Structure 1
Amino acid sequence: MAKWSDRLAELGIELPAVAAPVAAYVPAVRTGNQVWTSGQLPFVDGELAATGKVGAAVSQEDAYTYARHCALNAIAAVDALVGVDEIARVLKVVGYVASDPDFTGQPAVVNGASELMQEIFGEAGEHARSAVGVAALPMNAPVEIELVVELRAAGS
């Protein structure tokens, strides 16, 4: 049984504090053996890392990094609710990319989140995914990521 907290330490990754909700919702909810996170923005040390549309004010490369930040915030939300070591596998990643009308690189941006899941969770980080271009995101964020994870069975 893998201890994801040990893997995070090996990678030198420290989970951030859970980002405070910006509206009427909670960061994550559990139902049965799954946790669903709310969409997480690229907050770093309590501040939005960037604003603007990808393909205009924000480069695809920078947006990839912001997607990683969002994914770390989502993992932190799961950790705060049930503990990161309770994750059995990542089931789904949904990424929203605030896109300039001509930008079509949403999958490459959301790879920032997907590749992080695989770095941390290995095979258990392989997941289904959607990468969606949108006109705007809350607070003019360039990227938003949400996760669905399966939890370990009791006693495993």
Structure 2
Amino acid sequence: MSTPEERLAELGLTLPEVVKPLAAYVPAVRTGNLIYSSGQVPMVDGKLGVTGKVGAEVDADQAKELARVCALNALAAVASAAGGLSEIVRIVKVVGFVASAPDFTGQPQVINGASELFGEVFGDAGRHARSAVGVAVLPLDAPVEVEVIAEVR
């Protein structure tokens, strides 16, 4: 079976630099064999390219792709605390936040962008418990935010 790094490469993806914290926190914390990532917004090269509410300024398909970017950023944070991507044994829990227009109810489908990426990278070890929550606003007016709990070696 191929490594998570090889599967990322097969997807045409690379692990980005860890996103610098926006406030007084760290990107990830390890306790025992678990690593908790801070919430990750869809930053690319230090910039948030899309802002607004899903179901208004941002459509659900675009938000699903942004959730995938959040997941990749979360993997970078977890891998940095674990000593590498291959040190991740499984994705245990994902919490996704979707800045939602008042009548938008597709939060689970948006957060599938993150869940599907974890499955593609880790196979069965990427299957996880999950919450998908609609919120009024996220930091920097980001449409989506994802946090992860991962088991590591």
Question: Which AA in structure 2 matches 1:55?
Answer: G
Q: Which residue of 1 aligns with 2:138?
A: 137
Task: Provide the rounded CA distance (Å) in 2 between the counterparts of 1:63 and 1:10.
Answer: 23
Is the 2:65–2:113 Cα contact (8 Å) retained in structure 1?
Answer: yes
State the percentage of identical aligned residues: 63
Query: With structure 2 as the length reference, what TM-score do the two structures score?
Result: 0.96
**Structure 2 regions of 5+ residues with no counterpart?**
none
Is the 1:88–1:151 Cα contact (8 Å) retained in structure 2?
Answer: yes
Matches within 5 A, 1:57-136: 57-82=57-82, 83-136=84-137
Q: Pairwise CA RMSD of aligned residues?
A: 1.0
Residues 22-75 of structure 1: CA deviation (Å, up to 9, x unaligned): 010000000000000000000011110210000000000100000000000000
**Paired residue secondary structure (1:96):** strand
Task: Provide the rounded CA distance (Å) in 2 between the counterparts of 1:120 and 1:135.
Answer: 31
Residues 86-132 of structure 1: CA deviation (Å, up to 9, x unaligned): 00000001000000000000000000000000011100000000000
Task: Provide the rounded CA distance (Å) in 1 between the counterparts of 2:99 and 2:36.
Answer: 22
Q: Which residue of 2 aligns with 1:5?
A: 5
Query: With structure 1 as the length reference, what TM-score do the two structures score?
Result: 0.94
**Paired residue secondary structure (1:131):** strand
In the TM superposition, residue 8 of structure 1 has moved relative to its aligned partner by 1.6
Task: Provide the rounded CA distance (Å) in 2 between the counterparts of 1:45 and 1:92.
Answer: 26
Q: Which residue of 2 aligns with 1:23?
A: 23
- What is the total number of aligned residue pairs between the two structures? 152
Is the 1:49–1:66 Cα contact (8 Å) retained in structure 2?
Answer: no
